Structure 1
Amino acid sequence: MYSLLLILIYIAFISLGLPDSLVGSGWPAMHADLGVPVSYMGIVTMIISGGTIVSSLLSEKLTKKFGTRHVTVVSVFLTAAAMLGFSFADRFWMLLLFGVPYGLGAGAIDAALNNYIALHYKARHMNWLHCFWGVGTIVSPFVMSHALSHANWQGGFRIIGLVQLGIALLLLCTLPVWKIHSRTEEAGGEKVLGLRGALRIRGVPLLLIGFFAYCAAEATAMNWASTYFAEVKGVADEQAAQFASLFYIGITSSRFLCGFLSDKLGDRKMILAGATVLLGGIVLLLIPAPNALAIAGFVIIGFGCGPVYPSIVHSTPDNFGAENSGAIIGIQMASAYVGSTFIPPLFGLLGRALGFAVLPFFLLVFLFLMITMTELTFRIAKKAPHTQP
């Protein structure tokens, strides 16, 4: 039963990753078909991320009231409904409408399962959890590329929506399996720490800024990779979608490999190692060269991103106490989605004004902010108690 539960959690995170790369990989064709500027992808991202912010901030209360298993099942059903809604969209406003349930579902499952794994499993399982998220993000661009080659972009959303629906039904039918951890699910007890209580803990605000910066960089690279190849390198839409999937291949393979190293090296060293590799990938994008070097750059950027997110999240109970992790991880997810909400559209406007070749410089700014804030967080958390002042 224990192994079956872990498999179900991994499958749930595949369902979280499936929609994440779909909009970005299909956007070069989508914006042309819908008759909107390329920068409008930022509006779609903003709506989706707005929903995730709301549900992430509410995740502590939702999980304590309904349990991780019920939050997970309902969340996957919401994202499935959103993907099927996207598949019928023939107007831009329809993307905005169905972006709401997509965001609400994604934020709730993200916060609930991240906290669950951080509390009950070792660092390697956190890396492998996010590796399975990457499996979903790798599959989606190929699905979109196939749909663009044989039909239209709506077909890509329809396929992913049906897969999501199947995963939701599987999780619904296996709800009893989750009962093996039902007594220890809410490690923090019945008391809800909340936003204000969490922000009073020393080091938490710095952590949120660092996580915001990292997720801003990751989301920008993720969402604009396809457009970068199309606009800067002159690659056709279908091929650009395939090239963009290489970012997800990098991040997924990295998380699989890091799972074997994370328990030995620890979260802090894994974050620094990932940031160093990420920097190397950005440097490759700065070198004017044929497409092959840019492709390698995005793979390396993805590889560097691999351990950062899971290591930051997994370090939360150790840095701030298991009793506080539910609230803090929920706020972490919210800060991550704030970065995803505002930074990709900001880059869209910047790219439209200055050209999308500024992408590597944009990523550098947030990389250095992330390194600075996370290092300060570890230093403060090492000295400070886990209690509120």
Structure 2
Amino acid sequence: MPPFALSCLTYLGIALPGSTLGILWPSMRISLHEPVAALGIVLAAGVAASAASSAATGRILARVPAGPLLAAASALVAGALAVEALAPALWLIAIGSAVFSTGFGAIDAALNAYAAGHFGARQVTWMHAGYGLGATLGPLLVTALLAAGAGWRWTMAAMSFAVAAITVMLAAARHRWKVPAAPAAAKENTASAERSGPSPRRHAILAGVVFTGVETGVESAAGIWGYVFLTGGRGLPAAVAGIAVSAYWLMMFAGRAVLGPVAERAGASRVLALAVAGVPAGALLMAVPGPGLVAVAGMMLLGLAAAPVFPLLTLTTADRSGEGGATAAVGLQMAASAVGSFALPAGIGLVIGAVSARALGPALLALALAMCGVYWLAVRGAG
């Protein structure tokens, strides 16, 4: 199997269990005799491990080829799911979450680093669309298994087997991931930059890392709090709000599938800039007072605009970091993504609790505008 197809399959495979903890937790916490809030311990362990793993992977790839690293990381994910399926207590679930996220972070960073150097705009966005498809199918699969009486332990075991099958394929194809050595000129430029201290390019890398954290936080917050916002803040019926949230994730998937080829023809940087500008436009429709359907339209626009941002930002990393530092920069961006997708929705949740569900719109608008400002700094620093 060629690396592109294997990348899509791997991303889809790790997204299946990655999107199901919220559905499994009610059954898990009753079985383990834990309160609902104990999920925070599991999530905190996972986020910390994922961020550390993603940041370190950029440096590891300089010494270890992508193929063996991906196979080893996938084995960690499969093993962690197996451990969690047998876990008798919360502490082992938390350890399993940390191991799972270590493998997940390494796969995320390694796939994106490889894609940034070997794939075009269409392939990168389709790879991320594969993740979106897996994140959509995961909850459906888990819901079906639980409804059939499988229980959370057997459900986790089934997902462990699925990831183990992908691990076997990654191990068999480990030599197909060709990563050429960085050109001598790039290495020379990197060494020179390290000797000369902070530079505009380093500022561009930092801006790209901050941008990634804010952008993924906006994506996650809109999906996590969208239902509460539409029902409690805009008065929509529960069924309509549920469909709207599903449609939001569908727009993320469709946007990546459709806008990838557009970016390949029109240019990744141009489509990325337009997409970044579209995110606050969608947030504005969610923030302004008006009928609930206007807020729904805003969510759809935000989802469509945000869809290609993360993959195209990864693709253009070398424009900001230089060829020699692209792999490490991608790793840092993946770490920022893990932190942002957890911290910003949590912070917005506190705001919603203190004010009202309507606060989601203005909060997303403020973050989206800040995101645009950081993007401008990143582009300016790379120029």
TM-score by length of 1: 0.81
* Structure 2 CA distance for aligned equivalents of residues 241 and 80 of structure 1: 31
The structure whose Rg is larger is 2
Q: Contact 1:215 / 1:336 at 8 angstroms: preserved in 2?
A: yes
Alpha-carbon distance in structure 2 between the residues aligned to 1:10 and 1:59: 19
TM-aligned CA distance change 1:321 to 1:51, over 3 Å = same
Any residues of structure 2 matched to 1:1-389 within 5 Å, and which?
4-26=2-24, 35-37=34-36, 41-88=39-86, 92-151=90-149, 152-154=151-153, 156-178=155-177, 181-182=178-179, 184=180, 197=194, 200=199, 201-225=202-226, 235=238, 244-283=245-284, 285-286=286-287, 298-382=299-383
- Measured against aligned partners, the alpha-carbon deviations of 1:194-253 in whole angstroms (never above 9, x if no partner) come to 9x95975232222222111112212333444566678776849xx998865443322111
Q: Give the drift of 1:35.
A: 5.0
Q: Where in structure 1 are there 5+ consecutive unaligned residues?
A: 383-389
Task: Give the fraction of aligned pairs with identical amino acids, expressed as a percent.
Answer: 22
- Deviation string, structure 1 residues 330-362 (Cα, Å, up to 9, x no partner): 111122222134223333444444454533333
Amino acid paired to 2:363: F
Q: Structure 2 CA distance, aligned partners of 1:354 and 1:59?
A: 40
Q: Could you tell me whether the CA contact under 8 Å between 1:211 and 1:332 is conserved in 2? A: yes
- Structure-2 change in CA distance of 1:118 and 1:24 (3 Å): same
> Cα offset for 1:266?
2.6
**8 Å contact kept, 2:58–2:332:** no
Alignment check: 8 A CA contact 1:41 1:345 kept: no
Distance 1:47 1:15 in 2: 21
**8 A Cα contact 2:284 2:365, kept in partner:** no
Alignment coverage as a number of residue pairs: 372
Asked if 2 retains the 8 angstrom alpha-carbon contact of 1:86 and 1:157, the reply is yes
* 3-state SS of paired residue (2:18): coil
CA offsets, 1:131-163, max 9 Å, x none?
Answer: 111111111121233245344555553433332
1:231–1:155 CA distance, 2 compared to 1 (3 A): farther
Q: Indicate conservation of the 8 Å contact 1:268/1:378, yes or no.
A: no
1:141, 1:242 within 8 Å by CA — same for their partners in 2? no
The SS at the match of 1:259 is helix
Moved more, 14-23 or 241-250: 241-250
User: What's the CA shift for 1:11?
Assistant: 1.2
- Corresponding position of 1:387: none
Aligned mates of 1:89, 1:227 — CA distance in 2: 33
When residues 373 and 108 of structure 1 are mapped into structure 2, their CA distance, relative to the original with a 3 A threshold, is same
Q: Which amino acid aligns with 2:308?
A: P
Instruction: Check the 8 A contact 1:192/1:327 in 2, yes or no.
Output: no
Q: Deviations over 1:27-55 (max 9, x none)?
A: 677678765346x6554333212111111
Amino acid at match of 2:376: E
Deviation at 1:21, TM superposition (A): 2.0
1:80-102 CA-partner distances (Å, limit 9, x unpaired): 22333444457544442211011
For 1:282 and 1:49, locate their aligned partners in 2 and report how far apart those are by CA, in whole Å: 26
1:130–1:379 Cα change, 3 Å = same
Structure 1 residues 199 and 107: alpha-carbon distance in aligned structure 2, compared to 1, 3 A threshold: farther
- Distance verdict in 2 for CA 1:361–1:185, change over 3 Å: farther
Structure 2 residue ranges without an equivalent (≥5): none
Deviation per CA, 1:269-324: give whole Å up to 9, x if none. Answer: 3233323443454455456656x776665444332221110111111112321111
Judging changes above 3 Å, is the alpha-carbon distance between structure 1 residues 324 and 168 closer, same or farther for their aligned structure 2 residues?
same
- 2:129–2:256 contact (8 Å) kept in structure 1: yes
Secondary structure, aligned partner of 1:105: helix
Gap change, CA 1:42 and 1:161, over 3 Å in 2: same
Counterparts of 1:288 and 1:154 in 2: how far apart (Å)?
Answer: 45
Does the C-alpha gap of structure 1 residues 207 and 5 become closer, same or farther in structure 2, counting only changes over 3 Å?
closer
Kindly report the root-mean-square deviation, in angstroms, between the aligned alpha carbons of the 2 structures.
3.6
